[in-house]
Amino acid sequence: MFIDNDDHVYDSLKVFFDSSHMEFLIFRSASEGLNSLKDQKIDMVVSDYFLPDMNGIEFLNRVAKNNPGIKRILMATIVNDDLKRETEKEGIDRLIEKPLTMTSLDSIINDLEK
């Protein structure tokens, strides 16, 4: 599952995953993602930090509360030491800096699937 409200990122992810071997759900808000998790089994969640209805860390923590063991990745435009510490403290599996290429994203996802 991907959560990102940026139109460019949303469109890029849609094109990438439509031609990929992976099956992903893509949403523009945390609330849409949380609603989807009620009905679907998800293995991994990738979320932007800046979302319209809550920040990405809060969203990923809510996901983990109801889905222990789910892989969580946070994307952020600005990655600083404070964000790195908070991500580690919250047990988020990976912090990646935007912009990112679809090739690097594919590599990160494959690495976490192992």
Q: What is the pLDDT of residues 43-96, one digit of tens each?
A: 899 999 999 999 999 999 999 998 999 999 999 999 999 999 999 999 999 999
- In this structure, the number of other CB atoms found within 10 A of the CB of residue 59 comes to 24
101: domain CATH number is: 3.40.50.2300
A 10 A CB-CB count for 97 gives 12
* pTM exceeds 0.85: yes
Q: What value does the mean pLDDT of the chain take? A: 88
Check if the beta carbon of residue 49 is closer than 8 Å to that of residue 6. no
Q: How many domains in the chain? A: 1
Q: Which domain holds residue 11?
A: 2-113
Q: Angle at CA 99, nearest 5°, toward 94 and 105?
A: 50
Name the residue with tokens 């699937």. Answer: 113
Predicted confidence band of residue 24 (pLDDT cuts 50, 70, 90): confident
